[in-house]
Chains A and B, each alone.
Chain A
Amino acid sequence: GQQLNQSPQSMFIQEGEDVSMNCTSSSIFNTWLWYKQDPGEGPVLLIALYKAGELTSNGRLTAQFGITRKDSFLNISASIPSDVGIYFCAGQTNAGGTSYGKLTFGQGTILTVHP
């Protein structure tokens, strides 16, 4: 099935460093979302973006919805050990078509933070 192109696949950083990851698609999405998944758990929403060009922050997290509506990035500033996990981008189309808002996910970025 279709998946978004997410990079990097993995990152190993020191505590306190900033992190950046991005996601691209060949298709346009109306909404971009970023989820975090811990081992043995389901994805948890971090940030949702609803408008092209939108820049949104949630604490140390900042995400942007690309102007072309085909890409998004997520930045994490001053990383801490609890940031460890897998980060997924997801694109969502509105229910105006037949997608019913189903999500298309990237392959994930595995983040490891060394204390």
Chain B
Amino acid sequence: KAGVTQTPRYLIKTRGQQVTLSCSPISGHRSVSWYQQTPGQGLQFLFEYFSETQRNKGNFPGRFSGRQFSNSRSEMNVSTLELGDSALYLCASSWGRGGTEAFFGQGTRLTVV
């Protein structure tokens, strides 16, 4: 069974640009959550999608957005990139909403210069 797949693995962008990250969950999983990991703040929750709807959102500015498609694949978009957006972006998939094991992808390392 394939795991959670995130693409691309690495990205370098310039301040002010926008970026789209992709996450394909484990087959059969319907919930996808996104996290930002930085050395200073650790893992912080961005948002969760289930059945193509955003169900929960963390404390990030509106520049961070996402969506989920009918096949449960999810994308995350960051607009007007800032240097502080440099981080490892991880997505996790789980079978249902809450109370079930969440499995992480390898992450996308975003560097903003």
Asked if A pairs with B, the answer is no
Residues of B participating in the A interface, judged by any CB pair closer than 8 Å:
none
Report A's interface with B, CB cutoff 8 A: none
